Amino acid sequence: MIADLRGKTALVTGAGSGIGEAVARCFVEQGAVVVATDVNVDGVEQLAEELGRDAVKVVQLDVTDATQCAQVASEVAASHGHLDLLVCSAGVVLADDRELARDTPADWDQCFAVNVRGVVNSCEAVMPTMKSQGQGSIVTIGSISAHGARATLGAYPASKAAALRYTKGLALDLSPTIRVNAVCPGAVWSGMQSRILAETRRVVHALDPSVPLEEPSTDDETAFFASYQAITPLGRPQRPVDVAKAVAFLASDDASEITGQCLHVDGGAIIRD
């Protein structure tokens, strides 16, 4: 086993696709009961059908709504008797081609509402239960972009940097009862990355209708992997399951002496900065 999560109840936000879905799958494989949440429950409904509704509980949740977060956390604790793990995977990222469409005020508001306030809301929601039961583990999903910068993509890395700083501060605030860590992926091919490509094409097409509007395809995934192969020390970008395994370790009792840390799952890309 990657990490023994038997007997644990986990709340995973953004579990409908990408990293959040991979985390939910990994946690179930390691024995946890997962309360899988997303603002759009289609993905988590499919996950529950596949893995079993005893292992995966589906809840619709908008992490930007603090009241809703608190209500969900309270209901999970009441129905399961305990709430051991929280993974903050809900996130939003903007189109990756920003030379033609720089981040707008609305982009900044959206990124910080989901990527920062959403993490804060989720963490604050589980704190009362974890404190009262005397234990808990929180893992936030960061990004390698929190440690770097791009000329035209400001809102997303800024939001991830803010969430990472919050994670580290929270680890101090909640010690020794609750451990708080982050996993920072590098370039991950996921549903979110596919949406980035689709949005990029829409932006370009809107500015120049002569450019065909195409949806992402398997060729895009191949090109994505090829483009990162040369610049990643371990030779490839990451898959959601790579991140999920690291999250499972940090969430588990095997990491009982680890808190306030950021574990990079990026194929070594961070060492090039």
* 65 C-beta neighbours (distance < 10 Å), count: 15
111 close to 154: Cβ distance less than 8 angstroms? no
135 close to 177: Cβ distance less than 8 angstroms? yes
Question: Rounded to an integer, what distance in angstroms lies between the CA atom of residue 79 and that of residue 214?
Answer: 46
Work out whether strand 136-141 and strand 85-88 pair parallel, antiparallel, or are unpaired.
parallel
Work out whether strand 178-185 and strand 262-265 pair parallel, antiparallel, or are unpaired.
parallel
Question: Rounded to an integer, what distance in angstroms lies between the CA atom of residue 61 and that of residue 58?
Answer: 10
What residues are annotated to the active site? 156
Question: Rounded to an integer, what distance in angstroms lies between the CA atom of residue 71 and that of residue 73?
Answer: 6
